[in-house]
Chains A and B, each alone.
Chain A
């Protein structure tokens, strides 16, 4: 009985730990839109019981990630968000296998990106810029390569070095632009999108580095 109870508590604590960065992301986004955050809104957006959100918030307050009355993120709160996003991007898009997972701070991740993924320091800086500016939850984003044909989406982030993001911007793919997917073959290969009035073909590798939010059809 006791062991069973300990296991339940252990898993609940782990779940709460995992919720914290997501909650912080939502708070950031809400504050940016000028909406005062509260437990109900957060639990609705996360689809999680308000009780659990409350416990996670208490945890965040006590760990000094979030200031109690102003709901401002502290520096360590911000770096937690950044780390969470970096890890998500890295695990999800850079390693195709689900086995390799990254743990550690964003700084650890930067050196890993440089040594194992061939990014330069400038490139990592560029990725960091994009990640810290993101509005909303990183889990809501999908790579453009996963968007089915005939659906519309909005570009949120482009992941890559300065040269790469500039090239995409030159072709009209900047954050905030609406994109219509024309072709997306199921078995890999490039995709075709409509952007700013012209058709552009993007290799699968390129398309998987463009993170978008799907719009309702």
Chain B
């Protein structure tokens, strides 16, 4: 054959089974990472050339099941059902075969052309688990390839098996997943109703699969079915059948089906797996013990957080300083001189102060802080520590209506809101993500710390600055509780696997970091540059004075601030620390206490802390939440800032009189 044949291969599997390691082994540097359309679920794609085949590899999100619990599960099953990849490689954790086969059965149920990559054979062995691979192959009727992905063992065999299947050299006879008698009867009755009434949906997914999902009371499938006019009839049939099953078994129908899947799995496992008593606790188990311990766990958590903080602050700060010095001392003056020599002042200001400042702002935030943060996040993710941190903080986070996982993005918000916003995607539901997003933009990041310390800390003392932090935390907690009460839906409790600890590998960590940083640059840079361009235009054209005049009844009248402060607040949108810098520029003095009363300092700082997230954060929100919610978050935060500023002004003035 001269022509290259194109094969689409999808990687599926539980989280934490080494899927991304295998993906990297297969594709090397030829990957593209983005989002699934309309979803904040990461989509990675790569290519591999083998024996004249061009194999396109899609890394599906890691899921435990194919129900409609999370966006990830919906993405994975829709891809398999609708896009119909040529091969689905199901990566299975050999050390937790029972739970992993649950997904495998569901993939078989979808009639996915399956190959099993039985990964982590080494871990299974160290736990005393022995698996008869050939027997598993025979029972499942699809190839089962033992693998140790971190060492690359089994990768070649996996690929050649893929090609053998494509060329028909290996015959497969996938196991028919069948249920108990009553359930089967229900499924076939419902299957008939589906194929008669919903031919269009049945051509996308198989009627049997729709029937099973309906009996599992899958919200997403029910929604789809009910969007057809004849769907209600099918739903009535399914309700009746499910009700009957529930009467016979006395369990909710999703539980009946899950239980029957597990009993099939147990029959398979008893054939293929032997567990020998293992000799001693593994290193991962010991680490797990100490990192979840009620005392040492918190000490370790504190030190991990402290080191991340200092790494992001110090490391990021160092890089930022270095980059800024290059720009400020060499590049900007040089470009400035050059522009002035060829262009009139108006245009050169627009280019230098507008576009160039935007680029510099982008580079000096994105590269130092975002990149450093992403590396650390990737290491934490790959090592398996994040679930432990979430476990320890679950109790506290419940007080603000979220669960343990939300702790990580929230605490990172103190460094920079941008990566924290992107980190919101680790939450399972939209509701949790929205609450967390709201709270994160209120967390005083490093730039706002500069303002708090530079105004309140410097003139009113450290205690005043710390009480501002405390005040901020109280507002966050109260707002969290308020949002949790007022948003529709129930708060989700923590249900989270605690994976084994693993040594993070350099390559996957760097890959992840690079792709995420690049992604951020694509989204944030245009906005930052455009924003700074517009602001410069406003400044040069003199519109800025008009705006400050326009805002003065509000700024001076309601908030009791000097009229001029409107300008730094507007520029603060670009970068929060600009509020302080511009204040000093405007007053032409760094002795702010000559121009601002203590009350004004506090009010100004409060507004700076709370109002609209900086433009980079807005960009990150836009990427994670879409336009509507970003506007909602931005305007809500402005409103909150002025409300708090107004109240603070009122109360402090009153106290002053007394």
A residues touching B (Cβ–Cβ < 8 Å)?
118, 122, 125-126, 129-130, 132-134, 158, 162-163, 165-172, 174-177, 183, 185, 188-190, 192, 195-206
Contacts and interface: CB of A to CB of B under 8 A. Distances in A.
B494 A206 contact: yes
Nearest to B257: A169
A185 B392 CA distance: 10
B629 interface: no
A182 B594 CA distance: 62
Contacts of B490: 118
Interface string B222-263: 000000000000000000000000100111111100110010
B294 interface: yes
Contacts of B576: none
B496 A201 contact: yes
Contacts of A129: 246, 250-252
Given A162-B252, A171-B99, A206 B493 contact: yes
Contacts of A165: 252, 254-255
A11 to B, nearest CB: 35
B113 interface: no
A159 B160 CA distance: 47
A171 B493 contact: no
B294 A185 contact: yes
A192 B404 CA distance: 13
Nearest to A176: B259
Contact of B96 (A133, A174, A177, A197): A197
Interface string B191-208: 000000000000000000
B391 interface: yes
Interface in B135-179: none
Contacts of A158: 255
B97 A197 contact: yes
Report whether over half of chain B's contact residues are helix, strand or loop; otherwise say mixed: helix
A122 B69 CA distance: 16
Contact of B387 (A130, A167, A201): A201
A206 B495 contact: yes
* Most chain B CB neighbours (cut-off 10 Å) among A126, A201, A206: A201
A175 B259 CA distance: 8
Contacts of B497: 171, 198-201
Contacts of B262: 172, 174, 177, 196
B64 to A, nearest CB: 5
B498 interface: yes
Given A133-B250, A167-B495, A203-B495, A175 B255 contact: yes
A126 B252 contact: yes
B69 A170 contact: yes
B490 to A, nearest CB: 6
Contacts of B64: 170-171
Contact of A197 (B95, B254, B258, B494): B95
B275 to A, nearest CB: 9
Report whether over half of chain A's contact residues are helix, strand or loop; otherwise say mixed: mixed
Interface residues of B, number: 44
B398 A199 contact: no
Contact of A196 (B98, B394, B398, B493): B98
A122 B252 CA distance: 10
B324 interface: no
B119 interface: no
Contact of B404 (A133, A185, A190): A190
29 contacts: A126-B252, A130-B252, A130-B255, A133-B249, A133-B251, A162-B217, A163-B219, A165-B255, A166-B67, A169-B258, A170-B64, A170-B65, A171-B64, A174-B258, A175-B255, A188-B395, A190-B391, A190-B394, A190-B404, A190-B494, A196-B99, A201-B495, A201-B497, A202-B494, A203-B403, A203-B493, A203-B494, A205-B398, A206-B493
Contacts of A133: 249-251
Nearest to B266: A196
Nearest to B404: A190
B536 interface: no
Contacts of A199: 288, 497-499
B432 interface: no
Nearest to A170: B65
Interface in B83-139: 95-99, 102
B25 interface: no
Given A176-B259, A183-B292, A201 B395 contact: no
A-B pairs, 7 with minimum CB distance: A133-B250, A169-B258, A203-B494, A170-B65, A166-B254, A206-B493, A203-B493
Contacts of A183: 292
A118 to B, nearest CB: 6
B223 to A, nearest CB: 13
Contacts of A177: 262
Contact of B391 (A171, A192, A197, A198): A192
Contacts of A176: 259
Nearest to B392: A189
A134 B252 CA distance: 12
B99 A172 contact: yes
B577 interface: no
A74 B320 CA distance: 78
B96 A169 contact: no
Contact of A190 (B95, B246, B395): B395
A122 B499 CA distance: 33
Contact of A167 (B69, B95, B294, B390): B69
Given A169-B255, A198-B497, A199-B498, A130 B250 contact: yes
B96 A196 contact: yes
Contacts of B67: 166-167, 170
A162 B254 contact: yes
Contacts of A200: 495-498
Interface in B372-420: 387, 390-392, 394-395, 398, 403-404
Nearest to B388: A201
A42 B404 CA distance: 46
